[in-house]
Amino acid sequence: MWVPRVLLLAAVFSIPAFGHSQVFVVGEKTATDDLPTDFTPTDLALPSERLSERGRRGLVRDLNAEQGFAHRALPLGKGLTLMANGPLQQTTAEYKKMIYTKGESVAPGDRVVITALEIKGDRLIIDLNGGPYAKHRFLSHIQFNDNNVAQNQQQATGSRVTLAFEGGIPEITAPEVKALLSPVIDFGVKSSVQAYADTLPSPVKKAIAQHDVLVGMDHRMVLAALGAPESKVREHSGDDPSQARYEEWIYGEVPKTIKFVRFTGDRVTQVKIAAMGKPIEIHDKDEMSGFQPPDATHEVVMADAQPGEERAHIHQAPPTLRKEGEAAPANAQGKVQFPDEKPQPIPATPRGDSGEMGSAPMGSSAPTPMGSAPMGPTQVGPGSAAPTPVGRGGTASEPQLLGQVTP
């Protein structure tokens, strides 16, 4: 029996391999051949003043959670370093190698969100979509009954872009940072302030873009132009307390230029500009070119009527449960109808001398329940099965007896 086994094994190993598996190895050149690498530096005029503490707070407040779209692929981990108004520090070959070795965090056209901002030295470190590092939790090292208290975080999939400045970070705003990042990220999604400014006339829109305040603006326009003030003052127009009150918003600190914006109601009535070494500029004439912003009021209408439409159909009858065409009662006033007659009060139960309800003193007649005869002395005769109540007149009230009742 061993000979056929040997022949079978020889036949199996002598069969030629008709199927061959093919393995494709994609190299760096093939993987990054279609990767867009076009780059156009920005040309934005930057201020000469260094970034102040107020400017730092403004950048953190206005850039966190901002959304945009990637102009080019961003690598995982510590990504690109972009010089302000300059090129990328990484060459085209280095950029392609980062995408090939680290992987792609964001593809061109994908949405990105600024999740962290750090101001360090002469650069802004911006984390996108969670950043290059996963958040560490110390609870992941603690176990309870052989079970982790907190599950380990997944691997980080975010990226990081560093915006570097020569000679230090200037006094820039969030829109200017977005403009400097435009070769990498497009922040074309309009914010609420930008969307509101687009609805205004050209002179007002231009003033807001240049961070100027015009006499005649309202609170919302001033906030769009200069942001929240550093301090506010409320005073009377004169020494008389009965005079109208005004509110003054103060922007800036000495030795920088200080702006005093005075509101009367919801309109700017005066703007004072105090610059070092210059006389104070006072603007108190209307500068809105005849444009009057609408009052901050909201008109409430019923049903689906839109403001400005005819209001004849608005004042209709209130909703009702009556059928169509059913007439209302003559005395109906649209209110809840109450009974005309008031209910009679329930008489109080008399109390005896002992204080117990329903009992009467000896020798007096107690109240008798309605529908029942008054109870008299009970007489039991021979052959009776139960006591029989007898009325005060000496007659029994329909006794049910087994025997005979004696008179």
Residue among 271, 253, 256 at smallest CA distance from 212: 271
Distance (Å, whole) CA 72 – CA 294: 43
CA angle, 56 then 59 then 61, to 5°: 105
pLDDT of residue 202: 87
Give the pLDDT confidence of 108-156 residue by residue, as tens digits: 888 899 999 999 989 999 999 888 887 766 666 777 777 777 666 667 7
pTM metric for this prediction: 0.46
- Cα distance from N-terminal residue to C-terminal residue, the chain: 129
Q: Which long-range contacts (CB under 8 A, 24 or more apart) does 291-298 make?
A: 291/200, 291/201, 291/203, 291/204, 291/216, 292/216, 293/217, 293/218, 293/221, 295/266, 296/218, 296/220, 296/266
pLDDT of residue 17: 46
Percent of the chain at pLDDT > 70 equals 66
Reduced to 3 states (helix: H, G, I; strand: E, B; else coil), residue 78 is: strand
- Asked whether the predicted pLDDT for residue 174 surpasses 80, the reply is yes
pLDDT of residue 268: 93
Most confident of 262-271, 318-327, 390-399: 262-271
Distance (Å, whole) CA 103 – CA 101: 6
pLDDT of residue 5: 53
Which of the listed CATH numbers 3.40.640.10, 3.90.79.10, 3.30.1450.10, 3.40.1190.20 matches domain 193-283?
3.30.1450.10
Arithmetic mean of pLDDT, 210-216: 91
pLDDT of residue 104: 86
Q: Where are the domains of the chain?
A: 28-189, 193-283
Give the range among 188-202, 222-236, 324-338, 393-407 with minimum mean pLDDT: 393-407
pLDDT bin (cut points 50, 70, 90) of residue 404 is low
Residue among 44, 163, 161, 41 at smallest CA distance from 113: 161
Residue among 272, 391, 389 at smallest CA distance from 400: 389
SS (H, E, C) 235-264: EECCCCCCCCEEEEEEECCCCCCEEEEEEE
Q: Are 259 and 207 in contact (CB under 8 A)?
A: no
